[in-house]
Amino acid sequence: MKKLPLHWRIMIGMVLGVVFGAVFTQFEGGDEIISDWIKPFGIIFINTLKLIAMPLILGSLIKGVSDLKDISKLSLMGGKTIGIYLLTTILAVSIGLFMVNTIRPGDSIADSTRMDLIASYESDAAEKYEVAQKQKEAGPLQALIDLVPDNIFKATTENGNMLQVIFFALFFGIGLILITPDKAKPVKEFFDAFNEVILKLIDLIMLTAPYGVFALLATLIVESPSFDLFKALGMYAITLLIGLLLMIGLYTMFLRLYVKMEPTKFIKGISPAQLLAFSTSSSAATLPVTMERVEEHLGVDEEVASFVLPIGATINMDGTSLYQAVAAVFIAQAFGMDLSLGTQLGIILTATLASIGAAAVPGAGMVMLVIVLGQAGIPEAGLALIFAIDRPLDMCRTVVNVTGDASVSMIVAKSLGKLKKDTLRKKMG
């Protein structure tokens, strides 16, 4: 019997997780059983992915930069990567604003529902306010200060410091380019071997992916708020989901026009990473799988993938940017506010910058949303309005984040002549 492909096994795990969670919510004590005996396996799965993310970024970026051979290649690839990431982020925010102003989901929220939500999630929202307030009080160049670590070993102990690790990896890789090849050779060979070990560990972790997503989805079902709250915010969710689908459509259009790849082939190639992004809500945790799919199934050269994807997992949050635009205007509509064109243009700028600073972990977009709300003069208490359904929507926007990273890596590879068409025909044909 032919073995099921990974993405189908992950899909089966997701469906069974939802069914299992739904069934156990019908029994007294079912929630406790899921929490005590199923949830730990989901946590272990996410922890193993997080465990591998930091060494993957460190090793792959150092190897990728040092393989460029000279600084001119680094500046060329870096310039194209950052430029395209910024462009797609601005497009994502613009799509979000268009959708929320067209559908106007905030107009459908009743006062009673709004007050119930604020009362139910006031304490959770307060935690987000506290974290965001620290970022708002920082100086205008604080992001630049935070980019440079004072201790690389300390920086690698926390997944939220990925930008610092990326800075060190780029800096270290440049150093390898500038020294003589004979002195650089043993260091490069070490990181080549280091990457091989990490990739093998990823293969081992992915064997458990269907079981991990089963545990994650079963837990999500039993920990979700009541159905009435989801129903009250249904229009908001639909608006955001349509915007996210439009963004994926935009990626596939770019790939079809520039890379000459059919959308179905691209989706087939990246689908395991998309499904894992959906279940983990973390671009960083999904990064190992994204890199494997892009290199082995979409034909992107390792030199490009190891440079573009780790940076994208940290600064390219198109789904998060689109969400921030939709959520900000939705909250304003719920409070009866009519935002001017200038205010909404300000949302584009703030959401773009906020997405760059957002950590690639679940729930980071919610924290950055407070900054966007403050810039637009929207009551921050409105954050509680969307708290009820943020988790499932976070899963969806992470899919867009990962899809955007993969798309940009293919566009950059194509522009540099680093797209392996032979691999594409072999994998997709």
**Predicted confidence band of residue 241 (pLDDT cuts 50, 70, 90):** very high
Phi-psi region of 339 (alpha: psi -120 to 50; beta: other; left: phi over 0): beta
CB of 76 closer than 8 Å to CB of 416: yes
Confidence of residue 429 (pLDDT cuts 50, 70, 90): very low
Q: Which two tokens stand for residue 284?
A: 């960083």
Cα 91 to Cα 77, 244, 330, 348: the distances in Å are 21, 11, 19, 9
Per cent of the chain over pLDDT 90 is: 25
> Is residue 269 over pLDDT 80?
yes
According to the model, what pLDDT value does residue 1 have? Answer: 40
The mean of the pLDDT values for the chain is 80
Q: Which residue has the higher pLDDT, 386 or 252?
A: 252
Best CA proximity match to 212, nearest among 314, 286, 269: 286
Which among 376, 378, 354, 349 is positioned nearest to 366, based on CA atoms? 354
- Taking the whole predicted model, whether its pTM rises above 0.75 is answered as no
Please name the residue that has the structure tokens 């955007």. 404
Structural domains of the chain, with CATH: 6-428 (1.10.3860.10)
The three-class DSSP label of residue 419 is strand
pLDDT of residue 243: 96
